[in-house]
Structure 1
Amino acid sequence: MTSVLTASLFSTPSMDVAFGDDARLQAMLDAEAALARAQAGVGLIPAGAAPAIERACQAELYDLAALGRAVARAANPAIPLVTALMEHVARIDPDSAAWVHHGATSQDIIDTGLVLQVRRAWTSLAADLDRVDAALVKQVQDRGHHVLAGRTLLQHALPTTFGLKAAGWLDSARRARRAVQAAIEDLPPQLGGAAGTLASMGGRGPAVLDGFAAELGLTASPSWHARRERIALLGSVLAILVGVLAKAALDISLMMATETSEAFEVPADGGGGSSAMPHKRNPVAVTAVLAASRRAPGLAATLMMSLPQAHERDVGGWHAEWEVVPDLFRLAGGAAARMADVFEGLRIDADRMAANLEMTRGLLFSEAAAVALTGALGRAQAHARVKAAAARVVDEGITLRQALEANPGAAAALAGRWDEVFDLGRTVVSASELERRLVGEP
């Protein structure tokens, strides 16, 4: 459910519209109109009934508040909607009212309406993911050469490049995007009738099913009333998308820390301040995305828990999906929009990146030193000597090179190779090729 106070942080206006009550109502009415056209097309209902039904399938004709009150008694929104739809059709053509919702069940209309909402929402989500993609490609192209400390378990490990880091964010976002799009494209309309057999449509049921799907621009499938793996998969990949974007948000939030200060989001309209501390430049967008990533897995888990559904229609399992899928789309849409803003405006402090490389006084070259010593000393001895030298760096405040020069065995083995071992460029020599493989050809 959306909140006027917080919706702008966790969702987007387009997502709020796509999954608002007006959109849900119109999507269900679109399903009813398509059903009437398909049935008229195969002669199951009178040809004149379809236009009358379609004329009544306009959301603005209906009292949302009254429908909402009726849902509490009916246990789903389709039952009161069908009643109201019949009343509107009767005013247009009394004879056509009897053909409203012919042979269908509530779940057919609610599920198909959801599929239509999802399809329409994807247009907005895809647009923001396009922005994410373009902004990250530009970051790699413009700033990919900057070298910074790679960090494992929050500690300096080896040098890496900002380009390789951003290319990793991009690759993950693209993979998650493909998964979401595939899950959406796999969603068919729902039409099975009371128990999935299309019994009330006689032998013309399969033809109606095909026509119904064609009217909606979808691919037909037999009833999936109690088989919800498509919905669970969609929810799972939406949660993954949020998590993928949140990984980049977490990296950036850590890079914004005072002690690091290597990258900064640019909050809109001077945001990011503190109510108590005037000097603060707090992360805003990345905070919202990280919060979304805490919520999304639990929502997806609800859909996973709803997979075992009894017989041909479940008690409660299907109903549990109704608010979950919209909430996941809102979170995914909000995360995509927020991170697109972040990537488009991200500021990089290359000087601070370079300064941070010096913070550990050469320890970032420990692997290079160990590799260089291995030929002369063997792997175990090389590792032991570099480890001992690293301990001196920490304890005595000297550089790794100084510590190794003071070790006779290591100094002899590295004679004439010092510049090679401590060459920053050699540590990231493969980075540009790895970036190219992740980003693709320009």
Structure 2
Amino acid sequence: MSDLLWPGDHRAGDLFTDAAVVAAMVRVEHAWLAALAGRGLADIAVPGDLATLVTPEDLPALAVGAESGGNPLIPLLRLLRARLRERDPAAAGWLHKGLTSQDVIDTAIVLCLRDAVARIRADLGSQIGALSRLADAHRETRMAGRTLTQHAIPITFGLKAAGWLTGVLDARDQLATAAGMPIQIGGAAGSLAAPTALTGDPARARELVDAAAQDLGLPVREPWHTSRAPLTRVADAFVTCTDAWGRIANDVLVGSRPEVHELIEGAAAGRGGSSAMPNKRNPVHAVLIKRAALAGPPLAALLHAGAAAAVDERPDGGWHVEWATLRTLARRTVVAGAQTADLLAGLRVDTGRMLATLHRARPGIDAEQRSITPQAPPEQPYLGASDEIIDAVLTRAAKPG
């Protein structure tokens, strides 16, 4: 899967593609079938990998078939049952028994999101390492601080990098909190009625859920058919990531203007070229990262709108709007995370240009210092607790996230 109109989409690879979603739904069905067999409810041998029953050639028909029932699991079940019946008619009869479409789709979405989160957390780790090195290496790199686009007071680039790092650490922490997305199994209306009828005991029905969750490596909680916080929470975490990366990209975009030239994206063959102006080398990573930061919040807002529109025991449209929205948001966040890691790894800092800009900003940039300490020698360092702030951020960065 690759999106021509979202340059860099290939970086997300197979994450959340149609094939990945189908594979995740099949994994959920297999885990439930194994739970039924393992608890002695289904007198069957659990079949081997059900994924072998579906091929890439089946995807177009599954996509078309999803329209008639409103979700992609219904045509997938028809296909799985027909093909499993040829191998093991008894197992085919137990497939999906006790589940509902939302159980399988929600849990499959969680599995796809888990893979995306793992990729993003890995890139956050790379970003934290790069930013920690920048903050420490540039403690003494003086530059003009800017507020509301104008010169403010002198700062160091190390402090600026520590500010970038703080945003990335906040994103890491929020993503870690959201990462524990649970299995979603509640039966037709969230009451576990069918599993309870199968087992004859509510406690045993819950044991089935526990067994399937363990098989899938997911935590367990009560059914959340119409309580969508597990998904809006991870969406918000994705946006916190793109917020932090967008803030970095914005500074790089400003800093890379020819008249500023304090920050330069790392060079790579063919990167940043223009179709018409061979003299240009555009800060393309920063541009694409900013794009993701602009696109993310409306997607998360749409998920919240769907959650707020939940009605009865299965939302009519509010549930359905989640699927493609989560896929788009997850893939775009993965792409932006990889691009930000690359940007920071190759970022060049023109310390001479920073210092020259600071000198040209004087004496105006020293106005606050003169108003507070009028007796101080001119151009005495006015860096406050910058070192202590950098140390505190680096200490936080060194802790496992």
TM range (shorter): over 0.9
Q: In 2 relative to 1, CA 165–59 (structure 1 residues): closer, same or farther, beyond 3 Å? A: farther
Decide which moves more: 89-98 or 311-320: 89-98
Equivalenced residue count is: 389
How many angstroms apart in 2 are the aligned matches of 1:163 and 1:195? 55
Partner of 1:206: 206
Map 1:163-202; keep pairs closer than 5 Å: 163-185=158-180, 187-201=181-195, 202=197
1:296-307 alignment runs, 5 A limit: 296-307=296-307
Could you report, residue by residue, the CA deviation over 1:184-211 in whole angstroms, capped at 9, with x for unpaired residues? 21x1111111111121222232111111
Deviation at residue 3 of structure 1 after TM alignment: 4.7
Matching of residues 207-222 of structure 1 within 5 Å: 207-222=207-222
Counterpart among 63, 86, 92 of residue 87 in structure 2: 92
Distance between the aligned counterparts of 1:343 and 1:190, measured in 2?
38
- 1:25 Cα deviation (Å)? 0.7
How far has the Cα of 1:128 moved from its partner? Answer: 1.4
* 1:21 maps to amino acid: D
SS at match of 1:320: helix
3-state SS in 2 of match to 1:57: helix
User: Which amino acid counterpart does residue 76 of structure 1 have in structure 2?
Assistant: N
- Pairing partner for 1:120 from 92, 115, 119: 115
Shift, 1:43, TM fit: 2.0
Give the Cα–Cα distance (whole angstroms) in 1 for the partners of residues 240 and 3 of structure 2: 26
- Distance in 2, matches of 1:12 and 1:435, equals 36
Counterpart of 1:422, as a letter, is: E
Match of 1:334 in 2: 335
State which drifts further: 266-275 or 351-360.
266-275
**Structure 2 counterpart of 1:366, which letter?**
A
Name the CA shift for 1:58/1:116 in 2 (closer, same or farther; >3 Å).
farther
> How far has the Cα of 1:288 moved from its partner?
0.2
Distance (Å, rounded) in 2 between the aligned partners of 1:82 and 1:76: 11
* Aligned counterpart, 1:409: none
- Distance in 1 (alpha carbons) for counterparts of 2:299 and 2:312: 24
Alignment equivalent of 1:129, drawn from 116, 120, 124? 124
Letter in 2 for 1:434: I
The offset of 1:261, in angstroms, is: 0.8
Which residue in the other structure is 1:433 paired with?
388
2:353 matched to 1:322?
no
Equivalent residue in structure 1 for 2:135, among 131, 135, 140 = 140
User: Identity of aligned pairs, percent?
Assistant: 35
For the Cα contact (< 8 Å) 2:158–2:390, is it kept in 1? Answer: yes
Q: Is the 8 A contact 2:44 2:90 kept in 1?
A: no
**2:15–2:331 Cα contact (<8 Å) kept:** no
- Higher RCO, Cα 8 Å, sep 6+: 2
Q: Distance in 2 between matches of 1:216 and 1:56?
A: 14
Alpha carbons 1:56, 1:88 under 8 Å: kept: no
1:27 matched to which residue of 2? Answer: 24
**SS of residue paired to 2:143:** strand
1:365, CA displacement in angstroms? 0.9
Are the counterparts in 2 of residues 267 and 285 from structure 1 also a CA contact under 8 Å? Answer: no
How many Å separate the matches in 2 of 1:59 and 1:153?
A: 59
TM-score relative to the length of structure 2: 0.93
RMSD: 1.7
Give runs of aligned pairs for residues 336-355 of structure 1, distance below 5 A.
336-355=337-356
Give SS of 2:179's match: helix
* Alignment match, 1:422: 379
Aligned ranges 1:166-315 → 2 under 5 Å? 166-185=161-180, 187-201=181-195, 202=197, 203=201, 204-308=204-308, 309-315=310-316
Tell me the distance in 2 between the aligned counterparts of 1:355 and 1:58. 64
* CA distance, structure 2, for counterparts of residue 257 and residue 368 of structure 1: 29
**Partner Cα separation in structure 1 for residue 83 and residue 158 of structure 2:** 60
Q: Indicate if the aligned counterparts of 1:242 and 1:331 stay in contact, CA closer than 8 A.
A: no
Aligned-pair CA distance for 1:254: 0.4
State the alpha-carbon separation in 2 of the partners of residues 301 and 76 from structure 1: 22
Distance in 2, matches of 1:132 and 1:75, equals 41
* Offset at residue 212 of structure 1 (A): 1.3
Give yes or no for the alignment of 1:150 onto 2:142.
no
Partner of 2:372: 371
Mapped contact 1:171–1:438 kept (Cα < 8 A): yes
Distance in 2, Cα, partners of 1:302 & 1:215: 32
Equivalence for 1:391: none
TM-score, length basis structure 1: 0.84
Aligned mates of 1:282, 1:219 — CA distance in 2: 45
Cross-structure match for 2:4: 5
> Residue 179 and residue 59 in structure 1: after superposition, are their counterparts in 2 closer, same or farther (change >3 A)?
farther
Partner SS for 1:149: strand
Question: Which residue does 2:154 correspond to in 1?
Answer: 159
3-state SS of 1:307 partner: helix
Query: For the Cα contact (< 8 Å) 2:114–2:179, is it kept in 1?
Result: yes
Unaligned runs of 5+ in 2: none
| SS, match of residue 358 in structure 1 | helix
Q: Which amino acid aligns with 2:39?
A: V
CA distance in 2, matches of 1:353, 1:281: 20
Amino acid at match of 1:179: Q
Return 5+ residue gaps in structure 1 as ranges. Answer: 374-413
Counterpart Cα distance in 2 of 1:99 and 1:4: 39
The structure with the largest alpha-carbon Rg is 1
Determine if contact 2:187/2:193 at 8 Å carries over to the other structure. Answer: yes
Cα distance, 1:180 vs. partner? 1.3
State how far apart, in whole Å, the 1-side matches of 2:53 and 2:281 are: 45
Q: Which amino acid aligns with 1:34?
A: A
